[in-house]
Structure 1
Amino acid sequence: MTQQILAYAALDSKSPLVPFKFEQRKARADDVIIDIEYCGVCHSDLHQARNDWGGSQYPIVPGHEVVGRVKSIGSAVTKFKVGDLVGIGCMVDSCRTCSACHEGLEQYCEQGNTGTYNSLDRHDKSVTYGGYSQTIICSEAFVLKVPENLDTQAVAPLLCAGITTWSPLRHWKVGPQSKVAVVGLGGLGHMAIKLAHALGAEVTLFTRSASKEADAKVLGANHIVLSTDEKQMKAARNQFDLIIDTVPYDHDLKPYIPTLALSGTLVLVGYLGQISANSVPMIMGRKSIAGSLIGGIQETQELLNFCGEHNIVSDVEMIDMQNINDAYERMLKSDVKYRFVIDLKSLKDE
């Protein structure tokens, strides 16, 4: 039996998000149905709502940073029980059989993972709807356990901004001997600083704005380098084992490559598009430019457990569902520290 779910949706690429009702797909034996309490607002929600990347299929109910409690479970579910505090990130399924899936890297599924929204269910071809809604349904294999000790409303962005920065930190084995730099201080950048600091690394923020120094220090940065200051950039050469570049728009990578240490890597986690770089400093120091996409389910659970142990959450600003369009406009101006989170208690029949 299907159920009418209240949500907010983009009905086309030009109009504001509006209240919307949809039929939830029929639950399967391995499904968990979750009453959503909080949902983070990601830049990609805005991009998909406005079809900035192409491929948007309307109506779209965005939201892939979902936290709530289990409402009901299917007959085959063993990992969760009713009342558990859980989360869903950017994926709700994958092929589960390819080499990437077998490695626990479902985000790189060779057949393409199933997105939490604006995607087609692999079994019944129904459209997936995201977390700007009352409830969500998902196979238990893609549901995550959220530590109860954390500030629940500030957990949601860990499921995208958090894992997007955690995955490269783990892949490049960052620890107490590491020197890590972060480019950009926004939703992704502030999580990169917090997590790298908690892993014991020496952390530097590259920024164009001297006014960000105080905030960066509070988040855990040891040093600030003004990327517009040639002297400071020259002094930073040959230092960093890993640079996490969180900037979401086209920008010049060339000034950062010389600041990498021997065999260091600059990893792009924010920008989708064409890049250009001078290969000379790369060849002369075995330096790399790489990319990274969110993280697998096992890795995301590891992140949540780590955050539970170290009491790490995102810095958030709470909003009501009815204010989502204003939040989108503010997000375009970087007018948030550092992530909006929707309180779904505000979503009621209007």
Structure 2
Amino acid sequence: MFTVNAFAATSASEPLHPITIERRDVGPHDVLIEIKFCGICHSDIHTAGDEWGMTTYPVVPGHEIVGIVTSIGSEVTKHSVGDQVGVGCMVDSCGDCVNCRKGEEQFCLNGSTLTFGSIDNDGLPTQGGYSTHIVVTEDFVLKIPDGLALDAAAPLLCAGITTYSPLRRWGARPGTKVAVIGLGGLGHLAVKFARAMGAEVTVLSQSLKKQDDGLRLGAHHYHATSDPQTFEELAGTFDLIVNTVSAKVDLDAYLGLLALDGALVNVGAPAEPLSLNVFSLIMVRRSYAGSLIGGIRETQEMLDFCAEHGISADIEAIPAEKINEAYERVLASDVRYRFVIDTTTLN
């Protein structure tokens, strides 16, 4: 074991603050990463505040991690010292269940090991990327392609794959009409991906205050959902709607915007249950579905797609001392569109 600097929550009621944590020694199949940047995800805030009732303190959040390989185990073949790499929401899985064998480790039937808040193979809680170093088994370390800036690539490891995966799975391509509900950390990347895939892209947001941003990011159209006329004008329009917001929405109203065989896919995770009228589905053969990040293979595909199409997150980089301020600003929707911590400020 060795000690590294980190920024952690030690209770639900106190601000995050600097601590030191222990990382395991590099094993035969492990990669030691010097973390350069780590994005702030809303799930970090939920965990730090124990809003899901599952937090064990102290907890170091962060699962949008990018850095440089500084050491590898004796049997590592996929990575070399000096490589630019990333780590997302998972650091391990059983590798044996049917889902893992399909490359869908996020749905591991024995439970994937999350980057923070899980129990690792050594019996200790996993700790995330608000730290200077992390040790991860090579199979869960991703290559950051040349041409992607490390700071702007960090949010791709969660926000990126969360939106890329449903767009790919439900067939965003030339000739399809895609709508994105919400233009935040997830939504702004969904717009970029859908446009790069060739779809006709519409943003559905409460107001028009981000309309200029939405069009700059690649949307063809932008509509305010606070205007009832929007739902009349766009009825039966879309092949796919990706809902990125984590608030309760009127599912029946949004299902009404789908064309025949269209799908509404939730990636946002509101705390309260949602309900719908089944006739919103069966009368026009519509689907309602959910999606959770992606497997390691698909996440690497997403990173390569980003390098090919020049896609990265719109970010605001901050030093570690501003993490608590950033949390407050995320809750106030005062960021365009993702905070990224410069973890070198932890040294």
- TM-score of Structure 1 vs Structure 2, range by shorter chain: over 0.9
Matched position secondary structure for 2:274: coil
What is residue 235 of structure 2 aligned with on the other side? 237
What is the alpha-carbon root mean square deviation over aligned residues? 0.9
For 1:249 and 1:329, how far apart are their aligned partners in 2?
A: 18
CA contact (8 A) 1:88 1:159 kept: yes
Task: Give the superposition deviation at 1:342.
Answer: 0.4
CA contact (8 A) 1:197 1:221 kept: yes
Residues 43-91 of structure 1: CA deviation (Å, up to 9, x unaligned): 0000000000111011100000000000100011001000000000000
Residues 325-346 of structure 1: CA deviation (Å, up to 9, x unaligned): 0000000001000000001121
1:162 to 148, 160, 163: 160
What is residue 282 of structure 2 aligned with on the other side? 283
What is residue 100 of structure 2 aligned with on the other side? 101
CA contact (8 A) 1:226 1:233 kept: no
Task: Give the superposition deviation at 1:115.
Answer: 0.3
Task: Give the superposition deviation at 1:251.
Answer: 2.3
For 2:314 and 2:170, how far apart are their aligned partners in 1?
A: 25
Which stretches in structure 1 are left out of the alignment for 5+ residues?
A: none
What is residue 223 of structure 1 aligned with on the other side? 221
What is residue 198 of structure 1 aligned with on the other side? 196
For 1:57 and 1:21, how far apart are their aligned partners in 2?
A: 16
CA contact (8 A) 2:69 2:80 kept: yes
Alignment of 1:121-200 (within 5 A): 121=120, 123-200=121-198
CA contact (8 A) 2:202 2:222 kept: yes
Matched position secondary structure for 2:252: coil
**TM-score, normalised to structure 2's length?**
0.98
CA contact (8 A) 1:65 1:131 kept: yes
Matched position secondary structure for 1:53: coil
Task: Give the superposition deviation at 1:178.
Answer: 1.2
CA contact (8 A) 2:155 2:338 kept: yes
For 2:265 and 2:312, how far apart are their aligned partners in 1?
A: 23
What is residue 13 of structure 2 aligned with on the other side? 14
Task: Give the superposition deviation at 1:281.
Answer: 2.4
- The one-letter amino acid of 2:137's match is S
Residues 216-237 of structure 1: CA deviation (Å, up to 9, x unaligned): 0000000112212222211101
What is residue 301 of structure 1 aligned with on the other side? 300
Task: Give the superposition deviation at 1:146.
Answer: 0.2
Range moving further from structure 2, 307-316 or 272-281: 272-281
For 2:228 and 2:49, how far apart are their aligned partners in 1?
A: 38
What is residue 73 of structure 2 aligned with on the other side? 74
Matched position secondary structure for 1:285: coil
**TM-score, normalised to structure 1's length?**
0.97
For 2:181 and 2:267, how far apart are their aligned partners in 1?
A: 10
For 1:68 and 1:49, how far apart are their aligned partners in 2?
A: 23
Matched position secondary structure for 2:317: strand
CA contact (8 A) 1:225 1:233 kept: no
CA contact (8 A) 1:25 1:126 kept: no
For 2:238 and 2:277, how far apart are their aligned partners in 1?
A: 18
For 1:330 and 1:213, how far apart are their aligned partners in 2?
A: 20
- The one-letter amino acid of 1:284's match is M
Seq. identity, %: 53
CA contact (8 A) 1:6 1:20 kept: yes
For 2:247 and 2:14, how far apart are their aligned partners in 1?
A: 23
- The one-letter amino acid of 1:170's match is R
